[in-house]
Amino acid sequence: MKRSIFIFTALAFGIANVHAEQPTLKVCTAENEMPYSNKNGEGFENKLAQYVAAQLGRKLETVTWTDPRYFIRDYVDKGLCDVVMGVDQGDPRLATTAPYYRSGYVFISRSDDKLDLQNWDSEALRKAKRIAFMPGTPAETMLRAIGRYNDMFNYQQELAGFKSKRNQYVKYENDKLVNEVATGKAEIAILWGPAAARYVKASSTPLTMTVIPDNNQRADGEKVGFHYSTSIGVRKGDTALLTQLNKLIKDQQDEIEDLLEADGIPLLDQPDTALSMN
C-alpha cells in the first residue's frame, strides 16, 4: 500500500512538473481591434493564436497593447512578447513567416440593391451618394482617381464624429461602416475583407461582398494594391521560432483556412513569389 501511494505521488508530481515546465508562447494582441483581437479573446486572430500555441505544444500567454504605433518597439523588441499575428509579409520591423492567408479589399452593398460592382469603372460608384471607407487606404486613393473623394468629404466628417484628424488619432470602426450600408445610410462600403467579413456575415440585412480586382492604377500610372498576403511576425534573429512557425503553416494550412473561412473571410490564392519563406 505504501509503495502504491509512493508511485501515485511520484506520478502526480511528475505530471505537475510537466505542466509547470510547459513553455509559453507570448503573443502580442490589441486590446480592442475587432474583428482581429480584443482583451477577451474574441477576434479571429485570438483564435488563430490559440491554435498556433496548441500546435506548438505551448501555453498561450497574451500580452495586450493599446497603441498600434509603438507595440513592436515597446513589446516585441524588448522581449515582452514572441509573436505578432496578422502582419504584412515582409514587414521590415520583424522577421515574417511565409504567408498564412491572402485576401483583398471588398465592395459591400445591400444584396437587394443588386449593384453591379465589379471594378472601379462601375457606374454604381459614380452614382452613389454615400460611400463609406477608411481614410488612408487604397480605397481613398482610387476614390480620388475616379473623382469621388471630394463628394464624400462631409460624409467622412460625419463618420469621424466631426473630429479633426489633425494631430490626433481618429478611429473608424469596421462594424460601423458595414452597418452604414446595412441600414441604408450609405449605398456602398469599401473595406479590407478580413475587417468586414464577420459583420457582413452577421448582418440581419443581406449584404453582398465583392473582392476588388488587383489591377488598379493611380492617374500617374502607379499601381494601387488591393490584394495582400498576411504573415506571422517574430523578433528579428529568432530563427528557431520562425522555422517552427513556417513548418506549422505548411503542415496546417487547411486547418488555418477553415478558421478564417468560419469568420467569412474571403481567401485568395497566393502568388508564387509570396510562397517563399523569409
Please indicate, yes or no, whether residues 93 and 126 belong to a single structural domain of this protein. no
Average pLDDT for 176-180: 98
For the chain, give the percent of residues with pLDDT over 70: 87
Residue 132 has pLDDT above 90, yes or no: yes
Q: Are residues 97 and 133 in the same domain?
A: no
Q: What pLDDT score does 7 carry?
A: 41
Specify the pLDDT at position 233. 98
Distance of alpha carbon 238 from alpha carbon 145, whole angstroms: 42
Q: Is 214 helix (H, G, I), strand (E, B) or coil?
A: coil
CATH, residue 173: 3.40.190.10
pLDDT confidence of residue 5: 43
Specify whether 116 is located in the same domain as 217. Answer: yes
Weakest mean pLDDT among 60-64, 65-69, 238-242, 248-252: 65-69
Same domain, 96 and 122: no
- Does the structure show a pLDDT above 60 at 208? yes
The whole-angstrom distance between residue 185's C-alpha and the CA centroid of its chain comes to 26
Q: Among 119, 120, 137, 112, which residue's Cα sits nearest to residue 187?
A: 112
Phi then psi for residue 109, to 5 deg, are -145, 165
Q: Is the pLDDT of residue 31 over 60?
A: yes
Residue 166 — very low, low, confident or very high, per pLDDT cuts 50/70/90?
A: low
Residue 177: is its pLDDT beyond 80? Answer: yes
Q: Is 151 found in the same domain as 214?
A: yes
Same domain, 125 and 189: yes
**Cβ neighbours around 15 below 10 Å, total:** 10
What global pTM score does this model have?
A: 0.87
Question: How many alpha carbons lie under 13 Å from residue 272 in its C-beta half-sphere?
Answer: 0
Instruction: Give yes or no: residues 107 and 208 share one domain.
Output: yes
Task: Please check whether residues 207 and 111 belong to one and the same domain.
Answer: yes
Check: CB of residue 133 under 8 Å from CB of residue 143: yes
Count of domains forming the chain: 2
pLDDT of residue 46: 98
User: 94 and 6 share a domain?
Assistant: yes
Whether residues 67 and 86 fall in one domain: yes
Q: Domain of residue 42: give its range.
A: 2-101+229-275
Q: What are 236-272's pLDDT values in tens digits?
A: 999 999 999 999 999 999 999 999 999 999 999 999 7
Average pLDDT over residues 40-49: 97
Do 73 and 182 belong together in one domain?
no
Same domain, 211 and 242: no
Q: What confidence tier does 1 reach under pLDDT thresholds 50, 70, 90?
A: very low
Res. 164 pLDDT band, cuts 50 70 90:
low
Pure H helices in 106-221 = 123-127, 138-145, 153-159, 174-182, 193-202
Q: Is the pLDDT of residue 2 over 70?
A: no
What average pLDDT does the chain have?
90
- If you write DSSP's letter for every residue of the chain in order, what string do you get? -HHHHHHHHHHHHHHHHHHHTPPEEEEEEESEETTTEETTS-SHHHHHHHHHHHHTT-EEEEEEES-TTTHIIIIITTTS-SEEEEEETT-TTSEE-S-SEEEEEEEEEEGGG----SSTT-HHHHH-S-EEE-TTSHHHHHHHHTT-TGGGHHHHHHHTTT---TTS-----HHHHHHHHHTTS-SEEEEEHHHHHHHHHH-SS-EEEEEPPS-EE-TTS-EE--EEEEEEEE-TT-HHHHHHHHHHHHHTHHHHHHHHHHTT----PPPGGGGS--
